[in-house]
Every structure is written in structure tokens, then in C-alpha cells.
Chain A
Amino acid sequence: MTKDEFLDIMGGIDESIIDGTLDISRMDTVVIP
């Protein structure tokens, strides 16, 4: 596997993991340090 293939695989991970992990629905209200 190449690094780009790995990043592509990561780009396909489930929306629920992205949403849950990054708490993305509430990111607008998060103060970024």
C-alpha cells in the first residue's frame, strides 16, 4: 500500500465515525485553540 492509498482509505471511513470522533456537527461552536 502507498501513503496515498492509505489516505484514500481513511477518506472513505464511515460518516458516523467522522461525526462522532470530530464532533463535527458542533464544530462551529468550538473555539479552535
Chain B
Amino acid sequence: MEDDKIIRLFQSRDEMSISELSRKYGSICRRTAQGILGDFTETEECLNDTYMRVWESIPPAVPRSLAAFAAAITRNLALMRLRARHAEKRGGGETALSFDELEDFVSGENSIESEAERKELISAVNEFLRKLPEQQRQVFVRRYWGCLSVSEVAGYLGMTESNVTVTLTRVRKKLKEYLIKRGYEI
């Protein structure tokens, strides 16, 4: 079924929308959740949560890309679950995913004080990513949106792990300079 027809089913509150979404993009969402959570049961729960969240979001939302819309919801719900799991085990703290290389990129101090500031930052990052050369954007988004490991990114893109690491270092540096120039403290 075409995406616009699935969206119309959501808009008309037809529960077939969920089965059509699951049929068309369930495997993408499952892969996204599995990559972050690494646990079958939690992945399935996360998928169910995703379908409910899409149901609650459309309307009023009208996604330009239903696949990206659903995958983004899955990604964010999976990260929330991972943090909750990590907090339960460790009594708090950041996500259990390993992003050690970000130590040099961020200050480690909470700096986003409002939803408006968060939206401004997202907008600045969108602008930055759109200007990046294709391969650099692929590497950066797969690592920090898709939460793939460096070796997984290398495998997807046919690069060496060393090249991926160097690319990530360069893009982080560029993004940091880009944001600082625009007055953001990171």
C-alpha cells in the first residue's frame, strides 16, 4: 500500500493503518530497535509502542516520509528504554551505548534549558548536515542517529573502520565549530 493511503487510514482512525504500517515498515523499525536494545522481547515491546505512538501522532502529524517518521519514533523510544534499563542497573547516568568518542565533543554538563533552545539546535544541526558531503553525512547519521557501531558503519558503507573513525572525528570537529560560531555552548 502507498504511504499516502496508509497515512489516510491513520487520519480516518482505521486500525488497519497499524497492520499496514507494520507490514510495510515493521522490519525497518525492528532492525532499528534491535540494533539499540539487542533484546528480542524489548524490541517487540518497543515496536508495539512505536505503532501506538504513530497512531497518537497522525493526525495531526502528516509525515513527509512515513518510513523515516516511524523509524525515528522507534529510535527515540528504544533509546529511552535503554536509558531506563541502564538507570535501573546503575542507579542513573547516561545511555549504556558506547559513545566514548563524544567525550571530547561535549562538555558533559546539561546545557539545553528549554524546548525552544532544543528546536533551534536541531534546526542548526539539520542545516549543518544538509551541507555535508554525502559520505560524511552517511557516516555521521548512521553512527549518531542509527546508533550503529563503527564496524557496522564501515560494513554498510564499504569503508575501513579507521576511515570511519577519522571521518567521525573530522565531522564532530566541524559541527562543534559550526555550533560555537552560532553561539551555542556544547
Contacts and interface: CB of A to CB of B under 8 A. Distances in A.
Interface residues of A, number: 27
Contacts of A27: 27-28, 31, 67
B156 A33 contact: yes
B156 A18 contact: no
Interface residues of B, number: 51
Interface of A: 1-19, 21-22, 24-25, 27-28, 32-33
Contacts, number: 123
Dominant SS among interface residues on chain B: helix
Contacts of B126: 13-14, 17
Given A9-B118, A10-B144, A24-B71, A17 B130 contact: yes
Interface of B: 24-25, 27-28, 31, 63-65, 67-69, 71-72, 75-76, 79, 83, 94-95, 97, 99, 102-103, 105-112, 118-119, 121-122, 125-126, 129-130, 137-138, 141-142, 144-147, 155-156, 185-186
